[in-house]
Chains A and B, each alone.
Chain A
Amino acid sequence: MTKKNVRNLVLSILLLAAAGGALGWLQANSSAHSYAISIIERSAIYAVVAVAMNMLTGFTGLFSLGQAGFMALGAYVTGILTIPVEMRANVYYLNGIAPWLENVHLPMLPALILGGLVAAVFAALIGIPILRLKSDYLAIATLGFAEIIRAFLASPAMNTITNGSFGLNNIPAFSNIFVPCIVSAVCIFLMVLLINSSYGRAFKAIREDDVAAESMGINLFRHKELAFVISSFFTGIAGGLLAVYMRSIDTKTFQVTLTYNILLIVVLGGIGSVTGSIIGSFLINGGQEWLRFFDEPLSIGGVQIPLFRTGFRMVIYSVLLMIVVLFWRRGIMGTSEFTWDNLFGLFKRKKKKNAGGEA
């Protein structure tokens, strides 16, 4: 082990400990910091979806816009299975719950995995026909599927299972901030493992040039399907986490705008960078709250600034995004990942540059 490696390992452990410590501190003072906690939880959940989307878009070159639909599947499975049995009559107060479902109850973790599996099965079925399509067509077809899933979940025919228009509530919350953070971290870690495996290299080959990849003996369909199914699995889990986070869901949550928000996280973080997606998720979720002051009337020196009123925040937000897309296309991380070497390299080079300037 070289000196550098030891240094990096130590730094990583320190960072993890610091993050754990910070979360622990927030948890210990949870009543005063519930706002920060909820933002962190939401960012962690969105990070999973963003990384899953990045795995498709950035690493395999498949532009899918079906995230909201798969999240909805995961969320509904998790929601239905974790609502306490004694609360169910209350939740399904108008239509009643299907008898076969009435006493089926699972703890959160198995329910999340089952939610992911349902999303994955749907993805596998959908993938067979639509993964033959390319770029824009794939995007619009997956977008369409997400809408179909949403319409299906809200339809009166599903009343006794999904509670139709009324949505689900009384979903038990996370017991503490560590649960969503650890589940998210594990999900992202598993996806990173996949991306760095031989499968991941095959994905990248398909992204660069699918014809060349195929001639190198990569089975295009099998790999695309694999990427799509696994990405959907984790998207489903994230959907389940979102349901637990929100504690009440309905199909309106899972509209196209949700997918767009995830897309913006991926774009901002850098298409093809896992750490970028994670940073992007925290930035967008945090920034959205941080920019709240734009919505409040502001007066400087007694003069009311007329621009500041409700809705201005979202305008600023979308303008910022256009700027990123137009002038800073690589996003924060481009396709590179965060490593300690890069970080130190950054400082060193800066130092050198400064020294050179002075001389």
Chain B
Amino acid sequence: MELVLAIGIGTLAASGVWLILRPRTFQVIIGLSLLSYAVNLFIVAMGRVRSGAPVLIAKEAGDPARYADPLPQALVLTAIVISFATTALFLVVLLASRGLARTDHVDGQEPEA
């Protein structure tokens, strides 16, 4: 479980970083999305990987070790919402840049060959 998660996060982050460094705006936005997936998984992983453990602590709680940590899950929800919103905003700027500069290069102009 841990290994699969770690490999997944690593692959997503590596692809994201590679795409962010590419010269086309569409590649950059996909790279940012992949990176944010990697980060979201990473936040969940930081609350210790548990499978099948309930989140909420019942009234007679007993041993807290039997439950999953609810806080990272709350954090990841916030992070998802915020990264979704900022990615959407970036998409608008991307389209504006495409319209004004008539190219999808990140610098707004084609490099001189």
A, B co-complexed: no
Chain B interface residues toward A at CB < 8 A = none
